[in-house]
Amino acid sequence: MTKLPTAEIQQQVLDLRAQIEAHNHRYFVLDEPSIPDVEYDKLVRRLEQLERDHPELDDPDSPTHRVGARVAEGFETVEHETPMLSLANAFDAEEVGQFDQRIRDQLDLAELSYLAEPKLDGLAISLKYVDGRLIQAATRGDGYTGENVSANVRTIRSIPLKLNADQLPDQFEVRGEIFMSRSGFAELNQRLQANDEKTFVNPRNAASGTLRQLDPAITADRPLRFYAYAALGLDSDAGIDSQSSVMQRLREIGFPVNPLIRKVSGLQGLLDFHRDTLAQRDELDYDIDGVVYKLDDFDQQLEMGFVSRSPRWALAHKFPAEEAITRLREIEVQVGRTGKLTPVARLEPVFVGGVTVTNATLHNLDEIRRKDVRPGDYVIVRRAGDVIPEVVRAMTEKREQELPEWNLPTHCPVCGSKVEQVEGQADARCTGGLVCGAQRRRALEHFAMRTAMDIDGLGSKSIDQLVEQELVRDPSDLYRLSAETLVGLERMAEKSAANLVEAIDRSRKPELGRFLFALGIREVGEVSAQLLARYFGTLDALMAADPEQLQAVDEIGPIVAGHVHEFFNETANRKVIDRLLEAGVEWQAEQPLADQPQPLDDKTFVLTGSLAQLKRSAAKARLEALGARVSGSVSKKTDAVIAGTDPGSKLTKAEELGVPVMNEDELIALLKEHEAAA
DNA sequence: GATCCTCGAGTTCT
DNA sequence: CTCGAGGATC
C-alpha cells in the first residue's frame, strides 16, 4: 500500500524538482557545476523514490524524465527521432560499380556527384540542439534507441555547447563520430600504465570505454575528438540542398569536419578517393576502416530511398582486412565431440584488426598442405569477416632453413587411441569414443546445451573438473550428483552447488527431440532429432528401427540412418540410455503438430543481424508456432529475410536473389496480425 | 549426374 | 559465420 501523498510530500517533490532544474541549468548550460555529483545524485534518487511511491505526483516534465538529467546509475535510454541506420558495405571495386550503376539507372543520369569521406573507426553519436544549445547526446545503440551520454559528451572540447549563429533553425540534430586519436590513445595508455591501471587494446575501445564512464570528470580528462558527418533539420535553410552544403554549413557554425572530405564525380572519382585514402591511412592520427560515399544531392537521395535499414544512396567501401605477419610456434591438435581432430595454430601474439591474436584454426590437414604451413614458419594472419582469425598463408620465401612438414598424430593426443582417417574425407577422428576424455567432456557440454537438456550453470569449467575428478563419466552420472559432492570443486560454493543440482533436476523431462539431440548422435542435430522424434513418437520405436525404416523419415538418408542405427546398437550407448532412464529422466512426447493449416505454412524465413525488441529465439519460436520454417541460409526459396541491426552477408544475398527483406517492426506487425487471428 | 538447399559442427576474443 | 557434406530434386 502506498501512502496518500500529503501536502508536505507534494511540496517536497516540487522543491526537489526546482533544485534539480537549477543545478541542471548551471551544469548543462552555464557549465559551472554547483554541487558535487554525489549530492546531485542523491537529490535525483530522492525525487525518483517519491515519484515511485506516489505515482499520482509524477509529472512528464519532472527532471527525472527530462532528457539531459544526469543519472545516478548506468545511462538512460533515448529513442532516436530518426533512426541511425547502418550503411550497405562494399569490399571491392565491382560492388562499388554496381552501386553507382544502380543509382545512374534509377535516376537516368550519366554521371553523379558524391561526397566521399574517410570512415572513422569510432562511435556514432547524435547531438540534438534546441535554440542553439546542446540538449542531448546519444549513442547509436541499436539504431532506434541509444544511451544518453550527454554529461560525457559535454566534456569533449571540440563539440560546441552553444552556437551563436542567428539564422539557425530552432531545432536540429548533428551526427558524427567520436573517436580517440592514435597519439591521444598512446598517451592515455602510458598514463594508465604508470598508475597501474588497466590499459585499452585499441583507440576504439578506449573511446567507447571513456564515453561510457559514469563519472564525467574522467571523460573530461581523456582525449576524445569529434567529426561531424551529417545533420538533420538544417536543410530548411536556403541553399542547403546537398550533403556538401550541409558539411560546409556545419563547418561555418563551428563543428569540426574532417578536412579529407571531398566532392567527387562518377565511379572513377569514388575509386580514386578510396585509393588515395588507403595510401595515407598509416599517416593519419586516427584509425579508419574504409571510406563512405554519399550521393550529394538531396533530391536525388530522396528519389533513391531506402532498402530495409540502409539508404540506397550511400555506401561504405571497406578497406581490405588488415593483415599481420607473425611466427607459427607450433600446431596443436584439439579433439571435438565427435572425435574430429582439429589442428590449431599457436602463434606468437600479434596485434591485428584491433585485438591480439594467439590462436587460429587450421581446420584440417588438407588446409595445412594447401597453405603449406609448417611449424616455425612466418605466416600471414588476418581477421576474417572482422572476427575470426585466419592464417592466410605461410611466407615460404622467409623460411631460413628447410622445415619439416607437419603431420597428424597417429594416436589421439588426449586418450592415446588410434586416429582414423577415412579415404576421401578431409577429417581425421579419434577412435576412442567415450574412452577419450576430450570427447567425453565435449559430449557433456553438448548434453547440457540450452537447445539440448538446458542445464544452466553447467559450463565447460565445471565439466572439466567433474570429468577430471571422475565424478562424472557419462551424462547419467549428472543425475546422481549431490550438492555435498559438488561443494568440493573450485569456484563452487554452497549456493552455486545447490543451483546446479536444481538445474540438473529441472532437466529431467525433456521432449523426445531434445533428448535425442542431447545424446549427440553423429549428423543428428536439432532439426533431424526433432524429425525423428515426431516420426517415431517413442524412444523404444526409434531404438528398434532398422536403417530402412529410419530412411522413411524426410531428410534422413542412408548415411544419417546408418549413424543412428549404429549408435543404438552400441552396448555402451544403450547402457548410458538405460542409466539415464533409471536416474529418473523421462522424455516427453513432442507437441503434436497443429492439424489445422497454419497461416505461415510452407513459408521460410531467415533472420540476420540482432533484433532490438525481440530475442532471436523468441522470434524464431513465434514464427514456428505459426507454421513457418526458420532457416539459417538464404536461397531463392526463402520467403523473407528479417534484417536486424548490423545484418550480415545474408542481407546481401537476399538482395542479390531478390528475396523480400523485412525489418523488425514489420516482423512484429506480421506476428501480431496472425497471432490475433489464431 | 549435377545442382541446389539445408543442416551439422566447429571456431575467437572480450 | 563459414565450410563441408548429406539429402532432395530436376
Higher pLDDT, A309 or A662: A662
Rounded Cα distance, A379 and A393, in Å:
6
Asked if strand B comes closer than 7 Å to A638 Cβ, the answer is yes
Of A447 and A84, which is predicted with more confidence? A447
Distance A158 CA to B8 C1' (A): 52
pLDDT at A303 over 80: yes
Distance A606 CA to B2 C1' (A): 26
pLDDT of residue A459: 82
Residues 6 or more apart in contact with residue A251 via CB below 8 angstroms: A257
Chain centre distance of CA A678: 34
Whether residue A29 is predicted with pLDDT greater than 50 in this model: the reply is no
Four-CA torsion A624, A626, A627, A631, nearest 10 degrees:
-30
pLDDT tens digit string along A207-240? 888 888 777 777 777 888 999 999 998 876 678 8
Is A3 or A532 the better-scoring residue by pLDDT?
Answer: A532
Exactly one of A42, A119, A650, A653 is catalytic; which is it? A119
Q: Does residue A62 surpass a pLDDT of 70?
A: no
Inter-residue long-range contacts of A572-578, CB under 8 Å, 24+ positions, other chains counted: A572/A433, A572/A434, A573/A519, A574/A543, A576/A474, A576/A475, A576/A476, A577/A519, A577/A539, A577/A543
User: For residue A678, what pLDDT band results from cuts at 50, 70 and 90?
Assistant: low
A12 burial (CB, 10 Å; 0-12 / 13-18 / 19+) is middle
Q: State the burial class of residue A403 (Cβ atoms within 10 Å of its Cβ: 0-12, 13-18, 19+).
A: middle
A325 contact to strand C (CB, 7 A limit): no
Nucleotides of B under 7 A from a protein CB: 4-14
Residue A521 (CA) to nucleotide B10 (C1'), in angstroms, measures: 16
- Structure confidence at residue A560 (pLDDT): 92
| Ranges A68-72, A85-89, A266-270, A335-339: which has the least confidence | A68-72
Q: Give me the CA A621–C1' B13 separation in Å, rounded.
A: 30
Q: Is the CB of residue A562 less than 8 Å from the CB of residue A550?
A: no
Does residue A382 reach within 7 angstroms of strand C, measured from its CB?
no
Residue A471, C-beta contacts closer than 8 angstroms, at least 6 positions apart: A465, A477, A481, A485
C chain positions with any atom within 7 Å of a protein CB: 1-8
Gap from A645 CA to C7 C1', Å: 33
State whether the beta carbon of A552 lies below 7 angstroms from any atom of strand B: no
Cβ of A414 less than 7 A from strand C:
no
Does the CB of A530 fall within 7 Å of any strand B atom?
Answer: no
Taking the C1' atom of every nucleotide in all shown strands and the CA of A521, the nearest one is B8
Q: How far apart are CA A531 and CA A631, in angstroms?
A: 15
| Rounded Cα–Cα distance for residues A640 and A650 (Å) | 11
Give distance CA A621 / C1' B5 (Å): 22
Is the distance between the Cβ of A205 and the closest atom of strand B smaller than 7 Å?
A: yes
Whole-Å CA distances, A639 to A44, A468, A605: 50, 49, 6
Joined together, the cell numbers standing for residue A634 give 538464404
A298 dihedral zone (left: phi>0; alpha: psi -120 to 50; beta): alpha
> Residue A373: is its pLDDT beyond 60?
yes
CA A291/CA A220 separation, integer angstroms? 29
Per the CB < 8 A criterion, the answer to whether A64 and A106 are in contact is: no
Look at residue A72 and tell me whether its pLDDT is greater than 50: no
Judge if the beta carbon of A606 is closer than 7 A to nucleic acid strand C: no
Residue A307: its pLDDT value, please?
A: 66
Q: Which residue is nearest to nucleotide B4 (CA to C1')?
A: A635
pLDDT of residue A31: 43
Residue A214: all three cell numbers together = 559514469
Which string of b and e fits A622-640 if b means at least 16 CB within 10 Å? bbebbbbbbeeebeeebeb
Amino acid A554 CA to nucleotide C6 C1' distance, rounded Å: 12
- How far from the centroid of its chain's Cα atoms is residue A83's Cα? 19
Statement: the CB of A629 is under 7 Å from strand B = yes
Output A474 or A60, whichever has higher pLDDT. Answer: A474
Written as nine digits, the cell of A245 is 552544403
Which residue's C-alpha is at the least distance from the C1' of B12?
A: A388
pLDDT band at A384 (very low <50, low <70, confident <90, very high): low
- pLDDT at A576 exceeding the cut of 50: yes
Q: Is there a catalytic annotation at residue A119?
A: yes
Nearest DNA or RNA nucleotide to A201 (CA to C1'): B14
Q: Which residue has the higher pLDDT, A611 or A606?
A: A606
Q: Averaged over A622-629, what is the pLDDT?
A: 83
Residue A386 predicted with pLDDT over 80: no
pLDDT of residue A74: 65
Contacts of residue A392, Cβ cutoff 8 Å, sequence gap at least 6: A323, A371, A379, A380, A381, A382
Lookup result for grid cell 546481401:
A652
The cell numbers describing A345, all together, are 595454430
Contact A78, A142 (CB under 8 A): no
The pTM of the full predicted model, rounded to 2 decimals, is 0.64
Nucleotide nearest to A205 (CA to C1'): B14
Please state, for a pLDDT cut of 90, what percent of chain A lies above it. 25
Nearest residue to nucleotide B5 when comparing alpha carbons to its C1'?
A635
pLDDT tens digits along A98-120: 889 999 999 999 999 999 999 99
From the CB of residue A643, how many other CB atoms can be counted at a distance below 10 Å? 28
Whether residue A162 contacts residue A204, with contact meaning beta carbons closer than 8 Å, is answered with no
β-bridge partners, A384: A388
- Nucleotide lying nearest to A556, CA to C1' measure: C7
Identify the weakest region by mean pLDDT among A469-478, A523-532, A614-623. Answer: A614-623
Residue A507 is placed in which grid cell?
Answer: 532437466
Band (A272; pLDDT cuts 50, 70, 90): very high
What does the alpha-carbon distance between residue A127 and residue A131 come to, in Å, rounded to a whole number? Answer: 13
Strand C contact at CB of residue A561, distance < 7 A: yes
Q: Higher pLDDT residue, A565 or A648? A: A565
Give strand letter and number of the nucleotide nearest A426 (CA to C1'): C4
Nucleotide with minimal C1' distance from the CA of A446 is B9
Is residue A281's beta carbon less than 7 angstroms from any atom in nucleic acid strand B?
Answer: no
Residue A431 has pLDDT above 80, yes or no: yes
H helices of A469-593, in order, are 475-478, 483-486, 494-506, 512-519, 526-536, 539-544, 547-550, 558-569, 571-582
Read off the pLDDT of each residue in A302-324 and give the average, rounded to a whole number: 81
> A222 vs A151, A204, A219, A436, CA distance in Å?
14, 13, 5, 52
Distance A638 CA to B6 C1' (A): 12
Q: Is the CB of A181 under 7 A from strand B?
A: no
Provide residues 143-202 of A with CB closer than 7 Å to any strand C atom: none
Asked if strand C contacts A650 at the CB level, meaning under 7 A, the answer is yes
pLDDT greater than 90 at residue A274: yes
As a whole number of angstroms, the distance between CA A263 and CA A352 comes to 32
Burial class (CB in 10 A: 0-12, 13-18, 19+), A555: exposed
Nucleotide with minimal C1' distance from the CA of A551 is C7
Q: Which range scores top for mean pLDDT: A372-376, A600-604, A657-661? A: A372-376
pLDDT band at A567 (very low <50, low <70, confident <90, very high): very high
For A153, A221, A491, A507, the CA distances from A210, given in Å and listed in that order, are 10, 9, 32, 43
pLDDT at A148 over 70: yes
Contacts of A520 (CB under 8 A, 6+ apart): A337, A338, A443, A446, A447
Average pLDDT, chain A: 83
Q: How far is the CA of A561 from the C1' of B2 (A)?
A: 24
Residue A411 pairs with which residues in a beta bridge?
Answer: A418
Asked whether residue A620, judged by its CB, lies under 7 Å from any atom of the DNA or RNA strand B, the reply is: no
Question: Residue A351: CB partners within 8 Å, gap ≥ 6?
Answer: A201, A324, A357
Q: What is the mean pLDDT of residues A638-659?
A: 78
Cα(A532)–Cα(A536) distance, integer angstroms: 6
Task: Write out the DSSP string of A126-150.
Answer: EEEEETTEEEEEEE-TTSSEEEB-H
**Rounded CA–C1' distance between A563 and C7, in angstroms:** 15
Q: Which three cell numbers stand for residue A197?
A: 591501471
Q: How far apart are CA A149 and CA A68, in angstroms?
A: 9
Provide the terminal-to-terminal Cα distance of chain A, rounded to the nearest Å: 39
pLDDT band at A26 (very low <50, low <70, confident <90, very high): low
Q: Is the pLDDT of residue A70 over 80?
A: no
Average the pLDDT over A479-507 and give the result.
85
pLDDT digits (tens, 9 = 90+) for A280-294: 988 899 988 889 999
- pLDDT for the residue A41: 63
Local confidence band at A568 (pLDDT 50, 70, 90 cut-offs): very high
Evaluate if the CB of A555 falls below 7 Å from strand C. yes
A675 to each of A169, A598, A646, how far by Cα in Å?
Answer: 45, 10, 28
